Structure 1
Amino acid sequence: MNWEQLLSLRRHGDVSKRLRKEQDETRLGFEVDYDRIIFSSAFRSLQDKTQVIPLSKTDFVHTRLTHSLEVSVVGRSLGRAAGKKILEKHPHLRDVHGYKFNDFGAIVAAAALAHDIGNPPFGHSGEKAIGEYFKTGKGVRFKEVLTEKEYQDIIDFEGNANGFKLLTESREGVDGGLRLGYATLGAFMKYPKESLPKKPTQHIADKKFGFFQSEKQTFLAVAEELGLEQTLKGNDISFARHPLTFLVEAADDICYTIIDFEDGINLGLISEDYALEYLIKLVKDRINTKKYNELAYKEDRLSYLRALAISTLISDAIDVFVANEEAILAGEFDVALLDKSKYTAQINDIIALSVNKIYRSQEVLEKEIAGYKIISDLLDVYTTALVRTNEGVASNYDRLVVNMLPGFYQQTDKPIYRILLNTCCYVASLSDSAAVHLHNKIMGKQL
């Protein structure tokens, strides 16, 4: 892979190449992507989607929206720092083609902003709930009418693939979705493969999948334009990651490691003494003891340590990225950047404590269980109504249900796979509160 291709400014529908040196510096194509994402309805819905604590009424607990904004800020810093190093190593990108280090920051920031845009309500349990409905619930009845890969798409419903669908899907009058630049779409794609085969290798890019069968051709067009390295060919395809994906992933890893931990402290799930001990281990080489000891309040001490921890991990991630740039370009770097961090032990200690005290806390478990029931019930009502309408046997109740849906999701003249996938994507688009509200209405608990 080479940087000139990887930094393509091409968008869906372009008939000629966009050159970096001809870009308007007041509104770069890479920066337009950020704007289009932040003004999208899919992004706005993240303000009421779970990051860790579902349906939390506490104002300092992060939602998917605040998490995504923070990841984009960290991603911009990572991208700019990496871009500076890349341009020093490959000066022709700057001198001949006109690329600047801020371009790298803009691409990573936009991809990071969108990284959770396809996630369902109720956190990662929402993904599992959608998949379980079709794997072991009433939705298993559709297995016989789907291809193996189509069925795998929905029983392993993946927020990353749904995100790619949201960003690129054409609708009537809207060709190419948000029409993001291909460099941004490439950086967004953490898992550039289809749903089968599952985990064909231990490479980080093969851990999950990044596009549904419905977006396969769109993905292939992006991969071809960017010159991504193909790792599997034939009936089963997969590709190496866009190098900047590693920076998007690092931004996410840094934020959830440190900030989910901070949420746990603010909620009282982790004691301050524990927290300070773990964070200080991470930043002990950079901490200003005098400044730290002058901070009288817990919130200020946590804020100082959090900022220092994020800064420490950003610097470390850049060191790993630059040291492994050739392997990354060759598609041979097979782990996340933080897996090679010199702070891996400290990171693992923080994550282990978060898993024990936060992710498995009673509040989280109880609301995830409720989320399973809500999502399963919604899928059952919607899929039944839509498929019966497709088959011409809809009841009056089915017609009422279909008419409740937004216009795009009322289409029943599609193949069953498209109807089921669109239904999954509609349920995934709901915020936590909207899912609860709809469930109450359908179950007759609220008029």
Structure 2
Amino acid sequence: MNWEQLLSLKRFGDTNKRIRKEQDETRLGFEVDYDRVIFSSEFRSLQDKTQVIPLSQTDFVHTRLTHSLEVSVVGRSLGRLVGQKVLEKYPHLENVHGYQANDFGAIVAAAALAHDIGNPPFGHSGEKAVGEYFKTGEGQKFKAHLTAKEYQDLCDFEGNANGFKILTENRAGRKGGLRLSYATLGAFMKYPKESLPKKPTKHIADKKYGFFQSDKDAFVDVANELGLLKRSDSDISFSRHPLAFLVEAADDICYTIIDFEDGINLGLIQEEYALEYLSKIIRDRIKPENYYALSTKADRIGYLRALAIGTLINEAVDIFMEYEASILKGTFDTALLDKSKYEAQINDIIKISIEKVYQSKDVIEKEIAGYRVLSELLNVFIGAVNNSYNNNASNYDKLILHLLPENNSITNDSLYLRILSVCRIVANMSDSYAILLFNKIKGINIA
């Protein structure tokens, strides 16, 4: 892979390339990507989607929206710092093509902003809840009528694949989806493969999948435009865009440190743990007199969090540049922070967060409710859509269809596309709206 091709300014849906030196510096194409994500309706819905801890009356809990904004800020810093070093290593990128360090930052920031845009409601269990409906629930009956890869798309419903569809899906009057640059789409694609074979290798890019079968042509188009390397002759699988490693690192840094911070501020984790574990990461930067001068727990934890994030940003940049050549060759096969000298400390923090936060009563209760809500919505909506297609819809089915947004795919001749469309409609709901519809369908709280 080469950076000139990887930094493509061409927009999805364009037929012509865009030249960096011809860009308007006051409205750079990569920065437009950020704007288009943040003004999308799908991004706005993240304000009412659980990150980890269910929404409460406190100011501490992160939603998918605040998490995405923070990941984007960290990603921008990672991209700019890497950009400076890449331009030093390959000066022709700046001297001949006109690329700037901020271009790298803008690409990573936009991709990071969108990284959770396709995730279902109810936190990390949302994807599993959708998948379980097809693996062990009523959705098992569709297996015999779908290809293996189509069925796997549903059984392992993937927020990353849904996000790729949101960013690229053609709509009436909107060819190319949000019309983002190919570079930003490439940085977004953490898992550039289809749903089968499942985890064919231990390579980080094979951990999950990145597109539905309905979007494989669009995915291959992006991969080819960017010059991503093919990793399989029989199935669709490519190497990662190098900047996808930075998007992943930004996410890893934020959820590791900030979920830990949330747990402390909510009283789920003792403050002493923060000083004990975070100080191991920031021991060369922390100033005890500054820490103890802060009068509130939130300020003290915020101080430690800021130092920890800064330390891990610098660490991730150094690792990226150390392995930059193998990343371009597609042979680097782990997350950046897996190479960190702080890996043991990071794992200790995550272990505590799992025990004290992710497995806390409030989180588990929310996830249990999510399974029930999503399963019921899928069952009712898929039934109504398929009954309507088969011309045997009941009056109840017809009423249910009025609850669904306009979507041409729900009338498609393809069973796979109809089911996938319903899954995506449900996945794009906010927590509150999904609960509201569930209650209406069940006849709960009806005045």
Distance in 2 between residues matched to 1:115 and 1:281, nearest whole Å? 29
Alignment-mate amino acid for residue 86 of structure 1: V
1:207-356 aligned within 5 A: 207-234=207-234, 236-356=235-355
Residues 276-296 of structure 1, C-alpha deviations (whole Å, 9 max, x = no match): 211112111111122222222
Contact 1:50 1:122 survives alignment (8 Å): yes
The DSSP-based 3-state class of the residue aligned with 1:56 is coil
Task: Tell me the CA shift for residue 202 of structure 1.
Answer: 0.3
Q: Which consecutive residues of structure 1, in runs of 5 or more, have no partner in the other structure?
A: none
The offset of 1:58, in angstroms, is 2.5
- Is 2:113 the counterpart of 1:76? no
CA contact (8 A) 1:409 1:426 kept: no
The correspondence of residues 39-438 of structure 1 with structure 2, limited to 5 A, is 39-234=39-234, 236-408=235-407, 411-438=410-437
Instruction: Compute the displacement of 1:409 (Å).
Output: 6.1
Partner of 2:50: helix, strand, or coil? coil
Q: CA deviation at 1:298?
A: 1.3
Any conservation in 1 of the 2:253–2:312 contact (CA below 8 Å)?
yes
Cα distance, 1:350 vs structure 2: 0.4
Listed as ranges, the gaps of 5+ residues in structure 2 are none
**Matches of 1:135 and 1:209 in 2, distance apart?**
17
Q: What's the CA shift for 1:41?
A: 0.2
Return the alpha-carbon distance in structure 2 between the equivalents of residues 241 and 56 of structure 1.
Answer: 37
Aligned pairs, number? 446
Q: Provide the alpha-carbon RMSD of the alignment.
A: 1.0
Identical pairs, percent: 70
Match of 1:232, SS state, is coil
Query: Is the CA contact (8 Å cut-off) linking 1:54 and 1:368 kept in structure 2?
Result: no
What secondary structure does 1:370 align onto? helix
CA–CA distance in 2 between the matches of 1:12 and 1:26? 21
Scaled by the length of structure 2, what TM-score is found? 0.98
CA spacing shift, 1:410–1:97, aligned 2, 3 Å: closer
**Separation in 1, partners of 2:441, 2:141:** 22
Deviation for aligned residue 1:366:
1.1
Query: How far 1:411 moved relative to its partner?
Result: 3.2
Confirm or deny: 8 A CA contact 1:54 1:432 kept in the other structure.
no
Aligned to 1:230, the other structure's residue is in SS state coil
CA distance in 1: counterparts of 2:191 and 2:412, whole angstroms: 31
- CA distance 1:259–1:409, change in 2 (3 Å): farther
Report the Cα offset of residue 297 of structure 1. 2.0
Shift of 1:444: 0.6
Q: Partner of 2:407: helix, strand, or coil?
A: helix
In the superposition, the TM-score normalised over structure 1's length comes to 0.98
Query: Counterpart of 2:110 in structure 1: which amino acid?
Result: A
C-alpha contact (below 8 Å) 2:409/2:417 kept by paired residues:
no
Q: Which amino acid aligns with 2:436?
A: H
Q: State the distance in 2 between where 1:409 and 1:363 align.
A: 38
Q: What letter is aligned with 1:32?
A: V
d(CA) in 2 for partners of 1:373, 1:303: 36
Distance in 1 (CA, whole Å) between partners of 2:295 and 2:13 is: 57
- Alignment match, 2:21: 21
Deviation of 1:31 after TM superposition, in Å, equals: 0.4
